[in-house]
Amino acid sequence: MYWTKASFFCLFGVIVLSAKNAAAQDNTPYSRFGLGELARSQNAISLGMGGVAQAYADAQSVNFLNPASYSNLQLVTFDVGLNGGVRRLSNKENNSRAGFGTLSYLQLGLPLSRKWGMNIGLRPMSRVAYNITQGEDKTFFDTLKVPVVHQYEGSGGLYQVYVGTGYGIGKFSIGVNVGYLFGNVTNSTKELYPATSNILPSKHSRRTSYGSFFYTLGVQQTINLTKDLELSLGATGSFQQKLTGRREQMRETLYYSASSNEYDTQDTVDYQKGVRGDIIYPQQLGGGIMLTKTNKFALGADFTTAQWSKFRNYGAPDSTQNSWKLSVGGQFIPNAESFTGYWNKVTYRLGGYYGKDYIKLGNKSMNQMGFSIGAGFPVRRIMPAIYQFSMINAAFEIGTRGDAGVSMKETFYKLTLGFTLSDRWFIKTKYD
């Protein structure tokens, strides 16, 4: 198996285009609430272990969940992750299926000194993609019943661009991510009547643009138990933060166009532009523990929580609640120092998680749970590039949230691929 920088970036471009096309098919009604469907904040390595990341650190991978881990970087590391899969929605009466795909993260880790590292990255924070239709009979003038279709649509999402640094003193490390959150979300509601009813359909749309700075703090502590066995502790957190929003709203009357088979704008009833407001982003805390035997295995557990009950969007609460999640998992390498047998050097991963989602429906909590398997495939170096190391990390997840008996059950199957290219830069050329 051979790998070059050119083939790496070509493959990256092909997968990004494929992910972009797949994302357009997605439909997740739960993204209508809060800030949308929150992105999983782990790389492909951690996702393969059920999301365990708080105490994880590696010299050749970038764990952006805990910036304290940057102090362990030893090589310049370019890391990109993409995911795609299938989502199934079901309740007592109906079910549907949709595909999805998107960029998971894009980052560049830089070792600044022996115990000091830096990371520059971009990743999605949330995604909104839903199209819900609901029909009913509406009564006019006390006796006239007219069928009406309510159509709810949403699109968009939020992203984070950030820079982080981590510094180590002995076996203790501390780090911080600081960046800018940006993006926009569009929500619209249509009331559609039959063309023969002489009642004008209507549409109310709202587009909110976000732009604010954010931060995340992290610490890690490693304790040597034996020569090759160590126990690591990690924690991350951020206090409640205030995001800035800018909102446009429009109310329109519509008419049905037989030629296009769509509803077009007939008249604008009301338009508001540039209404500023605040979004309260909740406090988040997490902690974890990991037991590691060098070049052999790692076992860990994480617990995270967030105060989403305090979320406010332009001063208004939403269908959100305090959330929590417990993750457990680990990885195993049969023989990392083997000179023969490629599969002996592959890293095998397994994990799972359980918790309470931040969305609630009708004052009912939604549980979330999932299982994952993963693997890290080392890519053979091309001589004489003896300082170049590459890995392909894959994680396959099966997860659920909600309950078909009380609301709607969501089941997803997701594959995440992480491509890591590590190299030693800034080496002075030597001549004999």
DSSP 86-104: EEEEE-SS-EEEEEEEEEE
228 three-class SS: coil
What is the structure's pLDDT at 286?
96
The domains found in the chain, sorted by start residue, are 5-362+371-377+393-423 (2.40.160)
Q: Is the pLDDT of residue 70 over 80?
A: yes
Q: Is the pLDDT of residue 170 over 80?
A: yes
Helix or strand run (H / E) with residue 46: helix 44-48
**From 22-36, 58-72, 169-183, 285-299, the region with the lowest mean pLDDT:** 22-36
Give dist(CA 136, CA 147) in Å, integer.
6
Residues 6+ apart with CB under 8 A from 113: none
Q: Are 369 and 375 in contact (CB under 8 A)?
A: no
Considering only CA atoms, which of 423, 314, 333, 432 is closest in space to residue 376? 333
- Give the single-character DSSP code of 414: E
- Which residues pair with residue 253 across a beta bridge? 202, 267
335 versus 116: the higher-pLDDT residue is: 116
Instruction: Kindly report, residue by residue over 292-347, the tens digit of the pLDDT.
Output: 998 899 999 999 999 999 999 999 999 999 999 999 999 999 988 777 788 989 99
Q: Is the pLDDT of residue 18 over 60?
A: no
Give dist(CA 123, CA 129) in Å, integer.
17
Q: Are 246 and 276 in contact (CB under 8 A)?
A: yes
Give dist(CA 145, CA 167) in Å, integer.
69
**From 118-132, 145-159, 398-412, the region with the lowest mean pLDDT:** 398-412
Q: Are 31 and 21 in contact (CB under 8 A)?
A: no
224 CB-side CA count, 13 A: 5
What is the structure's pLDDT at 192?
86
The band of 22, judged by pLDDT with boundaries at 50, 70 and 90, is very low
Hey, which bits of 19-64 come out as E strands?
37-38
Q: Are 176 and 161 in contact (CB under 8 A)?
A: no
CB atoms within 10 A of CB 258: 7
Burial bucket for residue 9 (CB in 10 Å: 0-12, 13-18, 19+) = middle
The band of 381, judged by pLDDT with boundaries at 50, 70 and 90, is low
- What is the arithmetic mean of pLDDT over 375-389? 67
53 versus 142: the higher-pLDDT residue is: 53
Amino acid 312 reads: R
Token pair of 276 as six digits: 């500023």
Q: Is the pLDDT of residue 431 over 60?
A: no
Instruction: Kindly report, residue by residue over 204-233, the tens digit of the pLDDT.
Output: 999 999 989 999 999 999 999 998 899 999
Token pair 């993963």: residue: 374
275 three-class SS: strand
What is the structure's pLDDT at 386?
52
Token pair of 404 as six digits: 């078909």
Q: Rounded to two decimals, what is the model's pTM?
A: 0.85
Token pair 């006019």: residue: 140
